[in-house]
Structure formats: structure tokens, C-alpha cells
A and B are shown apart, each in its own frame.
Chain A
Amino acid sequence: MGKPMRIRAKAANGETTVRALMAHIMEGGQRKDSSGNRIPAHHITDVTASHNGKTVLTAQWGSAVSQNPFLAFTFKGGAAGEKLAISWKDNKGDSRTDEVTIS
């Protein structure tokens, strides 16, 4: 189970803006350790966001997305008190889901 995300979802003027920070090393796979061996890529591959159970965004990420990734997007609808959830999966089979209340 991955580490907790920091998610903020704010509803205004008929739409909800989501800003999220995910805790993940996002190892690119280019670096070498002190013995000269390549450190294998370890990164989030899939992200899904849903509002009240309905998918509002899906993403596929490669190893070039930065460490502790940031994501921001906006969808129509959503109101204070409703739920916004974000899930990620990485290439080592780890995953994480966090849910917040839209403010």
C-alpha cells in the first residue's frame, strides 16, 4: 500500500478543481547505483480519479513523470460535501487510493 496522497478538491462556479500530490519515488530507470548497476524503473503507471463513483480522469504515466508527482485538473459538476477519490497503480504492483471531501 503506497503512502498517503495530498488531495485538494474545490467546487466553484459549477466545476470542481482537483490538485493532488502523490508520494512516489518515480524512479526513471536511468540511474546507476554505487556498484554501477542500473536501478530499475519504479513508477506509477496508471491514475484514475472519480467523483461519486464516476470516473472523471484516467492517466497513463511513464517513468519520466517527476518524483512525488503533482496533478491538477478540472471537471464540471461536483459540490461541497461530495467525494473525490484518486487511485494509482505502479509497475511493481503497488497501489494507493485516497478519498477526500470536496470543499
Chain B
Amino acid sequence: MNTTRRQVIKTTGVLGTLVSLGIITQAQAIAADARPGFATKSFSDAIASLGGTPTTSADIAVNTPDIAENGAVVPVGATSKIPNTTDMWFFVEKNPYPLAASFSFPEGTDPEVKTRVKMGTSTQVTVVVKAGGELYAASKETKVTLGGCGG
């Protein structure tokens, strides 16, 4: 892959230095996710990256199937009944990188979202929300019959 000067300069910060030193390739630099939480391999560290310890809450409904026929596409959703919910994070506990997605809800948007994630194996889907500045969490287990990470 042709690494033009322009491309190398575009890659900023630490990754840019590593590329210019020839330690990692441009492809690797593009691949590495520099966002805190998303690049974390340990579930507890990924939760910790949110900046607090969530309290378990029964007011978060985690909508996932009990069984996923194929882990490549697992419908996940959550609804928060906690007032002033501003943010929501989805973790797939045993995934290579547990933090799958985060959402922010401006005033007027329901704290409820649906999407689909890849699950490598049967595990808990943990949803953390930030409401009124505090963190809350709920989990639900989904059994996966065919892993979805392709590895």
C-alpha cells in the first residue's frame, strides 16, 4: 500500500510518530481505535474508562434475545426509565473489545435505542447509562450458537 507523505501527515499524534518511524504501517494506524474505552480489552477496564462505578438499576430494560442463532448479528436495545438519561453504552462482556457502542441523547430524544452487534460467544450484554451525571447499569445474558467475530 502506497503510503504517501500526505497520508502519513494526516495520521496524528502517537500513531503518526509510530508510522513515520516505520514501527507500524499506515494500515495499522488506521485500524487502531484511539478512543478511550473502545480500544480496551478488559471488560472491567472498559467500564472503568467511563469514569465511575455504575450502580445496578432495575430501571434499565436490556432488550436482547435469549439465544442468537448467529453471533454476527445480535439485535440489542435498551430503554432507560431513569430521569435525565443523557448517555448509554453497550458492552459485550466477552468480546475481544467489550465496548461496542455508545449513544448520546440530546434533550427531547427518548433514552432508548436499538442496534445490532457482533457477539463472539455466549455472554452478558451490559448496558450502562449516565443519568443526572451518575452511572447505572443492567445486564442480560445472550447465548450465541455460532460465534460472530469471524476469527
Contact = CB atoms under 8 A, between A and B. Distances in A.
Interface string A35-79: 000001110010000000011111111111111011111111100
Interface of B: 10, 27-28, 30-31, 33, 35, 38, 72-75, 77, 92, 95-97, 99-106, 108-110, 112-119, 148-151
A67 B109 contact: no
Taking residues whose C-beta sits less than 8 angstroms from the other chain, chain A's interface range is 35 or more
16 contacts: A30-B151, A31-B149, A56-B106, A60-B101, A63-B97, A65-B116, A65-B117, A66-B74, A66-B117, A67-B72, A71-B114, A72-B115, A73-B110, A75-B108, A92-B30, A93-B10
B33 A65 contact: no
Contacts of B108: 56, 75-77
Among A45, A61, A69, A74, chain B packs the most CB atoms within 10 A around the CB of: A61
B28 to A, nearest CB: 7
Given A31-B150, A64-B95, A91 B110 contact: no
Contacts, number: 113
B109 A28 contact: no
A9 B73 CA distance: 23
Nearest to B101: A61
A15 interface: yes
A50 to B, nearest CB: 10
B73 A66 contact: yes
